[in-house]
């Protein structure tokens, strides 16, 4: 590029400072590499920290506190004068995000990682061009890691306006509550927002074109959450398509299949995410794609030497913790270590109340390749669940009929996103379900339900009546 400034050469240059990119950068620095991160946003953290995982969890906690205060009487507590200031909810969310983004910036400083502001484009396997406004420069690097993440997917026939028809990106910046909302898409994002708005007193309608909400989840677990949602007043429409959204002055008319029509104050489009792979130099450098994702091997290498790709732009699960692990694997391979990605035991989490979590195969997937046996433990039989008034839940363990190998664990329970870590470790270390059942769990805890579900496979759960 004419007139550009040639910057210092780095061992590793990373495009994108999200949970894949910033973790990769820190790991690279730990291993002695000279590292830079090119980030087009003003702050680090990517979608997860700024417009996704962290903001939604902060708001979800406020929403749960609001619902618990309203129902405090069942705990023998009289609460009156309860009011909601949604602007303060959003302000608290922003404070948490700012603290964490500043934390990453501090970690970069202590690890001597350089942050370069601008939009990156791969020039070659050893160079990245950077544009920041009218300024252009070039970074030379022995290795490049692409970590450009994803954006909320939009429906081609429904244009977002940032005010009435929104994606998860816009809705997190909105500091006022609508009276009613219709959510298109009942995956993890759609279900979490349905929980938030319902808990804060908004009339919620949740629309999903597949057979049940959380289409990738175990049927039994998803049906349980759907039942809970309906009890709370959320209208759920499955096997339903949105035919048209007609914007009015301050609301929208939404036309669903089956001749259903609703006027709502806000529409949230939550139909998934699309990878950010355009205009970053893939075609020019002949980097191979796999269905609009960057093709990589088990070391996260592309087909071009010294160029790696991680996170939502690759075929693996679009999860922040997967991106972080992929970043670590890529860096360690660059630095001469024999690290490989293993997607067999990736936990998935949905932060509704109760939470949904899983690892390994669902019952439906397991049946396709194995003879299986199943253990279940309903939380209505858990002493701890009774104490905290959260008995609507289930732990389910799927095992191979012949080898006793744990094939999958699915759960809907309070703190399920924490409980699943035990099951991830059990599967990672190839623990059998009998070994899990024999492991002493503290009493009273929700975690006992994991032990009891494992024991139930052999009809040996202590807290369940014996089956015929």
Active site residues: 443
Residues forming a β-bridge with 51: none
221 contact partners, CB below 8 Å, separation of at least 6: 214, 356, 358, 394, 396, 410, 411, 412
Between CA 366 and CA 170 the distance in angstroms is 38
CA 270-257-225 angle, 5° bins:
50
Please check whether residue 394 is in contact with residue 218, taking contact to mean a CB–CB distance below 8 angstroms. no
- Residue in 119, 95, 96, 115 with CA at minimum distance from that of residue 105: 115
Whole-angstrom Cα distance, residue 159 to residue 143? 39
* φ/ψ bin of 257: left (φ > 0), alpha (ψ from -120 to 50), beta (otherwise): beta
b/e 216-241 (16+ beta carbons within 10 angstroms → b): ebbebbbbbbbebbeeeebebbbebe
Contact 373, 58 (CB under 8 A): no
Please give the structure tokens belonging to residue 219: 């049927």
Distance set, CA 442 to CA 410, 424, 445 (Å): 21, 19, 6
> Under a CB-based contact definition with an 8 Å cutoff, are residues 278 and 304 in contact?
no
Between CA 88 and CA 37 the distance in angstroms is 33
Cα gap 247→263, rounded to integer Å = 10
Sort strands 180-184 and 266-269 into parallel, antiparallel or unpaired.
parallel
How many Cα atoms are found within 13 Å in the side-chain-facing hemisphere of 155? 21
């Amino acid at each position: 590029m004419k007139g550009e400034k040639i910057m210092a050469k780095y061992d590793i240059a990373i495009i994108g400072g999200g949970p894949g990119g910033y973790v990769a950068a820190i790991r690279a620095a730990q291993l002695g590499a000279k590292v830079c991160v090119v980030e087009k946003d003003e702050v680090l953290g990517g979608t997860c920290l700024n417009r996704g995982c962290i903001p939604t969890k902060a708001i979800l906690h406020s929403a749960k506190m609001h619902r618990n205060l309203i129902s405090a009487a069942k705990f023998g507590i009289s609460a009156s004068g309860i009011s909601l200031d949604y602007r303060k909810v959003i302000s608290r969310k922003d404070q948490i995000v700012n603290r964490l983004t500043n934390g990453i910036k501090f970690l970069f400083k202590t690890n001597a990682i350089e942050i370069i502001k601008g939009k990156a484009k791969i020039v070659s396997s050893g160079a990245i061009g950077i544009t920041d406004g009218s300024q252009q420069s070039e970074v030379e690097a022995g290795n490049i890691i692409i970590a450009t993440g994803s954006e909320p997917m939009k429906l081609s026939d429904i244009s977002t306006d940032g005010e009435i028809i929104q994606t998860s990106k816009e809705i997190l910046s909105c500091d006022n509550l609508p009276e009613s909302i219709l959510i298109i898409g009942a995956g993890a994002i759609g279900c979490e927002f349905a929980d938030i708005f319902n808990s804060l007193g908004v009339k919620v309608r949740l629309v999903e074109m597949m057979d049940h909400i959380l289409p990738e989840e175990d049927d039994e677990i998803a049906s349980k959450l759907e039942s809970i949602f309906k009890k709370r007043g959320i209208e759920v429409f499955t096997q339903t398509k949105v035919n048209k959204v007609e914007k009015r002055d301050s609301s929208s008319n939404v036309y669903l299949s089956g001749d259903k029509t609703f006027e709502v104050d806000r529409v949230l489009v939550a139909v998934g995410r699309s990878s950010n792979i355009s205009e970053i130099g893939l075609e020019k450098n002949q980097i191979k794609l796999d269905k609009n994702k960057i093709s990589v091997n088990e070391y996260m290498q592309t087909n071009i030497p010294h160029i790696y790709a991680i996170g939502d732009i690759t075929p693996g699960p679009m999860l922040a913790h997967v991106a972080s692990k992929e970043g670590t694997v890529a860096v360690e391979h660059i630095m001469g270590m024999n690290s490989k990605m293993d997607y067999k035991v990736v936990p998935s989490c949905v932060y509704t109340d109760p939470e949904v979590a899983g690892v390994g195969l669902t019952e439906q997937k397991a049946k396709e390749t194995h003879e299986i046996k199943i253990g279940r433990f309903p939380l209505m039989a858990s002493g701890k669940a009774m104490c905290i008034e959260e008995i609507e839940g289930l732990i389910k363990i799927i095992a191979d009929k012949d080898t006793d190998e744990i094939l999958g664990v699915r759960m809907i329970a309070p703190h399920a996103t924490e409980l699943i870590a035990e099951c991830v470790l059990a599967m990672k270390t190839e623990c059998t379900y009998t070994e899990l059942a024999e492991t002493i769990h503290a009493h009273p805890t929700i975690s006992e339900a994991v032990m009891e579900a494992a024991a139930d496979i052999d009809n040996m759960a202590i807290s369940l009546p014996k089956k015929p």
